[in-house]
Structures are given as structure tokens and as C-alpha cells.
Structure 1
């Protein structure tokens, strides 16, 4: 089927997005699932997905690096509001890049108060990543968000929609308000989502939004993308399906071995001898009940081979979502040296990924690759000064005077306790924001000489790597991953 894609991704009737993909390339880490990877997967006929986390910061730092391949500026030039594009280029673009060791210029932190510069940078960052992912082909592209980062969601989604994104995916929470947000933005109406504020009274609502008429006045309404909710419990799927206002267009059902954040086990948290959460029968999704809802669904976690794909299809799934195999492929955003070290450790069968119940300030278990020299190394973590300067994962809370404050369990302990947090909540926490940025070569250089160390997240099922490395000893591509998954059904 031929699909015509316009400057902002508009499609002709009978668009290919109506055909459910068999493989969804997962949104792994900040910038790991970047536009280059998503573009490669979409070109191959499956759903390429960019991570939607911190794209404002990624754009700002890539411009400060001098945008050596010109991709950022090429996409910025396509933004339909030239004044916004020019303002942000003037502020962040550094011809030739910052001198070695110079700190990146900061971007505005997320918050409930209106900040036009922050909104414009968030909209533009998401537009740029999706626009580049859609370049040069007529395939479908999605973007993956964390429900936890509510303060960025409306502006981020609007930027992705302006670039013609085909799918929005969201997990790490209860994304019940996303269908209504997409409906509003597709009609050029202001879109809002609720923001969870700890300590707020029942019925006291806080929210944040974006107004298309304010950001991009006079533009035609963007096309509404499909929405896939990432869930790990039958009850959540049933809950979201209960009303047209909350019903997604499908589900990604994620198992506990999938990379990044995962839902904690149901019931009282129990840890095994290695200190990892123990999952049991209560954590298994009832696929028959999900299938009975009549919506397409995909299975994620340990599905990076043809057998996993076949079993998923036999269970009624439209296909599978795969993250780790793509995160380690040639087109991913992982720094090349880190990628090679991970592949070398995998070849020697010493690569370990731990489901750390304490690492993430969100409180969700988080998969961390145990790689020396990264934040997974206790000595490296202990040497890092505690600070929260990027703040994507900080939590809004109600202060005694009724104002909203922000705290993060990864910030200095005294600061967190002073803000009403419990000291035990700070134990074992890592700064995911800075660590994940360092993983893609965008780590901050502090004025005192400290350089942020990387933190790598992968899934815990690594069995697929042995076969891929035997077949592709020089490294594998996104097409190689698809071929391995799809086998005789059109892979690579």
C-alpha cells in the first residue's frame, strides 16, 4: 500500500496505520530508541518508536554540541511556526559545538506554572524527533511516554502530533486521560491532564495543559494518533476499557523481564536472595480476558525470537513489542563504546541485568545493567554528588502553606527530608535523568570537573543475543532483529 506523507506526516485515506504492526520496537531509555532506530524499523514495515522522555533537553544539548550532521536543524526548519524555531536556535545552537569540558546550558525544569519557553522547547523537541523518524519512508512511527512525567505530557504530545506521529504509547502509571487529550488536540482545542500532587485533599485537582491556538495559531488540526496503553495487570486493562473516554486503541502487555521500569509485584513486596522483586501467579495477565475486550494487544518481555512471536500470535496477540534487541543494534542511540562493552559481556556470558527495586526515584523497579564504570557500580554511585538539576522524575507535593513544591528521593537527603520526605525513601536511589543522558553521550560536565557517569537499562531476557552474535559477529542491525522475530512472515 502506498502512503503519501506530507511535511508534517499527513497521510492519504486508507493509511497504513490502520494495519496493526506485528512488531513494535520498544521505547528504551532516554534517546536509546531515537529517531535513527525508529526510522529503520518503520522503513522495514513495522512500528518504529522513539522515546518521548526529555526530548526538550535532547534537542537543546544536541544543538549545543553543534549538530554535526545537521539533522536537528533540518527538522527544526520544518516546524510550522518559524518564530519558535528561530528563538530556540538562537538560544541553544552553538556552531562547532561547546568547547571540551564546558557545561551544557540548562533548560527550564518542569512545573505547574506556565512557562512559554519550556512549552515551546518541549513541543519543538518532540516535533523534531518524530519528524526525523518519519523522514524518507511511508511507514508508521510511534512515541513512548511515561505517565509519571505528567508535567510534560500535553506539550510533548502536541509536538509529536504536529509531526504526524501515528501511535502514542504510555506506561508506568494509569494513562486514563490520554484518549481525551488526543481528542482535544486533534480538534485544536486546549488539552489538559491531571497532575498527582502528594498531600492534596481528595477532590483538589491540579492539572497542566497546552493550547494549540496559543502555540501554533492558525494551523490546521493535526491528525489524531492511535493510543496504546502499556499495562502489566488484567485489572488495569479492564479499567481503561470501561468507558470510551478512557479506552485506548490497544494494549501492550508488559511482563516483568522487560527493560526499563516495571510494575511492582502485586501484594506485599518480597525480595529474593539477590534483592530483586519476586513475581508470582497474581502478576500474570489473563490474556483471554484482555482478548475478549476486542482491542488489539501486543506482548512484551522475552519475545525477541520467532518462537516468542509465534506463541504471542497463538494467544491472540497482534504481535510483540521488543526493546533490548533493538537497544543493542547498530541504529540505537546507545554510545558505541557502551554498546560494544555490553555485547562483549554478553558474548562472554557475564552480562547481568538487575531488577533494582530502589534505583528509580519513581518507586517502580528499574532494570539496570551491571556494567563497571557506570552508575550500577556502587563506587561510581557513591562518588556522585547528590543533586537533582534535571528533575523530570521529581514529585509535586503540597507544602504547609498550600503551595506546590517538588522533591526527588535522589536529591540531597537533607533537602528531601526538609521537604517532608522520609529519609528511608532516599536509600539506594540513583539519578536516572543524568545517568540515562550520559548513556547516549549527552552527560553533563560540571564546573568542578565532575562528569556524569552512564546508567544502562536493558531487559533481563538476554538469551536472544547468543544467536544474533553467532549470525552477526560484527554487530546486528534493526533489520536483523526483525528477521529473527518474524522468520517466514516478512522479517527484514
Structure 2
């Protein structure tokens, strides 16, 4: 596998561990991936719940928690550490400021277009900015806005396809449409990015994400022009993943039919593993219409059957009567828990095998 270069950062292997909230990818998982030569990513989502002891104010607790996680990751790892901050989060600006102040290597940002992300950088900032998109059009809008308003271009771009876990940047009817497959969209995004690279003489690597599970998958998308890949689901069933054992077991126990598309209170479709809680939602679950967090800009509590941050936090703790696990389309292929080192070694070996010429092609 070739190295992945993002600005002046060089990852020994072109693998980014996707940010997963609430609490699934914190300093434990991120530092383990960074130590193996990849890019580890802390999810900023829901940290106000995980760190509620630090402050009764959800936003303040979340920012203190994010700073603590970045520092813990730095203590454990010498490699590249990133943070995923969703645009849809109400405390997006505060979390971005905290990440930059803590000199995190990279901010990944999706679940909306991060049109003002460069505005938070200061003259001495070292943090790289990487938007997560679902189309070539989104790349063009971001690049034009950033260049015109801030004289800045993305340091890389993540294209997340419709087979990803969690919230999806697609309409539900697009999720199974081949015109919106990662393989169809990737060359379009690579071409769009190349226009800005050539015009402004800046290298902007494109990272492929969504449904990438094996080394063969990695080789396939890199052959289509990706400079690297982002994987989330494959890293859940690792000993270093920050989720509870029950959360990890939900991936191992899942069958293909259990992976389903849900309607999130956020207003986007999401991919999750079916469980008792989601069945109750389908059966008409209604929870009290009180929101103690106001954590997501687009969440209308008056129309939401449940609080999503509480549901995801419950799942993180292993409580599936009151929560559910987001998961990618290949989560059902998970068979056992192994270390991050073993997982990455397996991915590299799979990639090497797929890179060998077959007898018929010799």
C-alpha cells in the first residue's frame, strides 16, 4: 500500500478510521489506528453526555471532553489524530475551535456542507480541513466558497458513498440506485477535484468511504482514483474500540437482513442494526417531548419519536432496549473481535492478495 499525504502529514498506510459517535471512536481506537500508521479519528458527537461530570452544561461538557480525548490520544500515539465534527451539531463552532486550539492534525466534517470551516483557522493553525461529501457538486460548491471567501482549499476530500453506516447524505430512493454508488461517484469527484488542483497548484487527495470492508475493496476504489480509504465498521469489532462489548457483539450477531435503513430524527436516512428499540419505534414509540440538549440543529423534538443522542449513548453502553447501533452495510460480515494491529494486518494481506496477477492475466 502506498502512503497517504495530506498537506505536510504522511500516513504510512492510506487508511483512515472513520469517526463514529456516540462514543464509538474516542482516544482508544483513534490512537491504536494512528500507532499502526493510519489516521485515527475521534468523534465529537455526544461528548456532552460522556463527560457530563465535567459540567452540567451539555455544550461545555462536550468541549471539555473533546479536549480531554485529543490529549489522551496524543499521549497514547505518535501518529496522525483527527476529529470528526458534524456540521449538523448545534455546538459545531465550539467543537471546531476546541479542535484547532488543541492542534489536532485534521478536522473531518460532514452531515451538511462545512462552508465556513476555514473561518476558524488562525495564522498559526496547523490543523488540516477535510470536508465529507456525497457528490461532485458538493465538492465544487465547497471549493469555490472556501477559495472565494477564505483563499483556502480543502486539504483532502472524503467521498462517502451510500453504503456507509450512520447518517447518509442521500435520499432514501438513491441508496440502492447504481447512479449513486461509490464506484460511480468516485471518478466524478476525482475529476472535479483535479480542476481545482490544476488551477491553484494544490494537491487534494480524494478519500473513498462507505461500504469499504476488505483489502480487495481498498484496491478497487484506489484503482478508480482514490488516494486513500476511510473505514468505520471494520474497526468496531476491535479490542481498542471504545464501545461496550455488547455494542461490538451486536455486529457479530447481526445477519444481513438485520441491517436496515431508518429515518433519523435529524432528518436524514441512517443505516443501523435492527433491535428491540427500533422495533418499538416502528410500532409507534413516543417519548416525552422535552429536549435537554438541543444538540442537533435539524432535530425537531416536537416531531421526533425519540432523542437520538440518548439512543446512541445507550447503545454505546450496551443498552439496546433504549438505543441502537449505527452500522455500515457490511457489518453482518463481522465474525470476531481482534486487535487493531490484526485488523490492519488482515486488510493489508487482503490487498496484497487482490493485487497479485491471476493466471489468466499473466
Q: TM-score range by the shorter chain?
A: 0.7 to 0.9
Partners of 1:165 and 1:342 in 2: CA distance = 30
Partners of 2:307 and 2:30 in 1: CA distance = 26
The structure in which a higher percent of residues are helix is 2
Aligned partner of 1:374 in structure 2 is: 277
Post-superposition Cα deviations, 1:270-321, rounded to whole Å, max 9, x if no partner, equal: 48xxxxx543415642144145243101100121211111122222222100
Q: Which runs of 5+ in 1 are unaligned?
A: 1-13, 64-87, 93-106, 111-117, 188-222, 272-276, 396-407, 417-425, 444-450
The CA RMSD over aligned residues, in Å, is 3.0
Aligned partner of 2:349 in structure 1 is: 487
C-alpha distance 40-380 of structure 1, shift in aligned 2 (>3 A): farther
Aligned partner of 1:131 in structure 2 is: 71
Matched, 1:241 2:118: no
Instruction: Spell out the pairing of 1:45-444 with structure 2 (5 A cutoff).
Output: 45-60=37-52, 63=53, 88=54, 107-108=56-57, 118=60, 121-149=61-89, 151-181=90-120, 183-184=121-122, 187=124, 223-242=125-144, 243-244=146-147, 245=150, 247-265=153-171, 270=173, 278-281=176-179, 284-285=184-185, 286-292=188-194, 293-294=196-197, 295-345=204-254, 349=255, 352-356=258-262, 358=263, 360-371=264-275, 373-378=276-281, 382=285, 384-395=287-298, 408-409=299-300, 411=301, 416=302, 426=303, 429-441=305-317
Partners of 1:354 and 1:251 in 2: CA distance = 27
Q: Which runs of 5+ in 2 are unaligned?
A: 198-203, 353-362
Aligned partner of 1:459 in structure 2 is: 328
Q: Secondary structure of the residue that 1:32 maps to in structure 2? A: coil
Aligned partner of 1:194 in structure 2 is: none
Q: Which deviates more from structure 2 when the two are superposed, residues 131-140 or residues 158-167? A: 158-167
**TM value normalised by structure 1:** 0.61
Contact in 1 for aligned 2:46/2:313 (Cα 8 Å): no
C-alpha distance 378-53 of structure 1, shift in aligned 2 (>3 A): closer
Partners of 2:76 and 2:7 in 1: CA distance = 15
Q: Secondary structure of the residue that 2:277 maps to in structure 1? A: coil
C-alpha distance 379-307 of structure 1, shift in aligned 2 (>3 A): closer
**TM value normalised by structure 2:** 0.81
Task: Report the CA distance between 1:394 and its aligned residue.
Answer: 4.4
Partners of 1:108 and 1:484 in 2: CA distance = 43
Partners of 1:26 and 1:263 in 2: CA distance = 15
Quick check: which has more Rg, 1 or 2?
Answer: 1
Task: Report the CA distance between 1:453 and its aligned residue.
Answer: 1.1
Task: Report the CA distance between 1:324 and its aligned residue.
Answer: 0.6
Q: Which deviates more from structure 2 when the two are superposed, residues 453-462 or residues 382-391? A: 382-391
Partners of 1:134 and 1:16 in 2: CA distance = 20
Partners of 1:386 and 1:367 in 2: CA distance = 24
C-alpha distance 40-180 of structure 1, shift in aligned 2 (>3 A): same
Partners of 2:76 and 2:240 in 1: CA distance = 16
C-alpha distance 315-224 of structure 1, shift in aligned 2 (>3 A): same
